[in-house]
Amino acid sequence: MKNRLKELRESMGLTQEQLGQLVGVSRQAINSIETEKFEPSIWLAYDICKVFHSTIEEVFIFEESERKSRAQQRRGVV
């Protein structure tokens, strides 16, 4: 999932380590979200957005993708 996490984090002068401490995850987790290798849980996304005083839609960009959702995969949707 695309996101503006790095842009927002840098605009506040936070390191990945500092943001991770604020939301209770490792620096590596923040890096994985920023590089779109990991999609955060809704609770982690909410906590991240609170740090930036932003909505989830302002931080995370929801677009149709080639990747099927978990629900589609379970139903066998092609």
What is the distance between the alpha carbons of residues 18 and 11, in angstroms, rounded to a whole number? 13
Q: Is the pLDDT of residue 55 over 80?
A: yes
Q: Is the pLDDT of residue 56 over 90?
A: yes
At 3, which helix (H) or strand (E)?
A: strand 2-3
What is the distance between the alpha carbons of residues 15 and 37, in angstroms, rounded to a whole number? 18
Phi, psi of 60 (to 5 degrees): -110, 135
Instruction: Give the domain ranges of the chain.
Output: 2-75
**Per-residue pLDDT, 77:** 64
In CATH, the number for domain 2-75 is: 1.10.260.40
* Mean of pLDDT values over 46-73: 83
Total-model pTM: 0.80
Judged by DSSP in three states, 39 sits in: coil
User: Could you tell me which residue, 72 or 9, shows the higher pLDDT?
Assistant: 9
* Mean of pLDDT values over 43-49: 98
**Per-residue pLDDT, 66:** 59
Which residues lie across from 60 on neighbouring strands? 3
* Other beta carbons less than 10 A from residue 59's beta carbon: 20
Q: Is the pLDDT of residue 68 over 70?
A: no
